[in-house]
Amino acid sequence: MSVRVLAAVGCLLLMLFSPQLTGRPALAQLLCDCCTPSSLARTCQKACKAQGALDPTGEGFCRPVILPDFRAGKRRTNPLNGIDLKYLDLSGLTPAQLERVRRWAERARRQSEARFRRIKAKARRGRISKEAFAQAEARRDEVVTNYHHIIRAYRDAITRLRAADASRQTR
């Protein structure tokens, strides 16, 4: 078995049998920000180590990882806020997992757009301040940017899968 498969099985077992994880939880139990290893939940720590995404010095390059067996639950905050997904790599996921990640990202983006439309209407009526509107706009922009990063990673992973399938068929 590969290291990624073992890590995915370990993450799944941890999520199933230890509901009270210590530390910072995974964002919607899907994304792990590997830049702050000391504040990560155990599930994320293992996933980050297995995919080589942790930066041991805390000063250099680190990247987010996707937990392959995630449960996309409802959250009050948008999971695409507060994490930089520019260097996200989805190459270790199956086509079904990739599709779940894409649908999850699209749902998060739609929710963000709907929330922003409501805030924009409140701003037109003068019910919120310009500062609050600017903050909401910045959060929405962050979600849209991260959504595009996920879609780019999704397309790259699909392209790699198709290339691998084509090379297997030519043998």
Confidence tier at 76 by pLDDT (50, 70, 90):
low
pTM score, whole prediction: 0.71
Shared domain check, 49 and 95:
no
Q: Which of 43, 69, 95 lies at the terminal end of a domain, its last residue? A: 69
Q: Considering only 60-64, 96-100, 128-132, 144-148, which range has the smallest mean pLDDT? A: 60-64
Cα–Cα dist 45/126, whole Å: 45
Beta-sheet strands, E only, within the chain? 31-33, 64-66
Q: Which amino acid is at 151?
A: I
Shared domain check, 114 and 94:
yes
List phi, psi (to 5°) of 32: -125, 125
Shared domain check, 146 and 123:
yes
Per the structure, the count of domains in the chain is 2
Shared domain check, 164 and 94:
yes
**pLDDT tens-digit profile of 19-75?**
333 333 333 457 777 776 666 677 777 777 777 666 555 555 677 877 766 555 555
